[in-house]
Amino acid sequence: MAVLARLLGLGTAAFGVATIVRPEIVAVPTGLARRDGPVPRDTRLLISLIGVRDVAVGTGMVLAPRGPALRWLIAARVASDAGDAFFLGRGLSSGPASAGSALTAGGWAALCARSVRGAGRREVAEPVTSAREQ
């Protein structure tokens, strides 16, 4: 069953929408904006772009058939989160913000990678047989 992958996709898409609507969700904990000030325009733009990526990949994980399509979408999610972990961990100036952001993104990447086991092969429905054929 692909339940874990579907739930992670749904969570990813929901988080993507939330970050598009309220970029402070990402900007404040990462130290890219102050809690008491507006998110800078350029930062808002980049966070929104990441939100669109998350909506697209997450929605794909929810809707894709089991098998190669779902596995590729999970791989895209893992690669995105691993990249986020690397660059946030390396690029943020604040130690706690950097470590927390990298751990969160890395943890999400690991959880998504784990979900690939349930993505399996595409399920093929067995033919329905009537009582007469049995």
Asked if residue 123 has pLDDT above 70, the reply is no
Q: At 98, is the pLDDT very low, low, confident or very high (cuts 50, 70, 90)?
A: confident
pLDDT of residue 31: 84
- pLDDT score, position 65: 95
5-36 b/e (C-beta count within 10 Å ≥ 16 → b):
bbebbebbbebbbebbeebbbbbbbbbbbeee
The contacts of residue 93 (CB under 8 Å, 6+ apart) are 31
Q: Is the pTM of this model over 0.85?
A: no
- Cβ proximity of 22 and 75 under 8 Å: no
On average, the pLDDT of the chain sits at 88
Q: Residue 131: what pLDDT?
A: 62
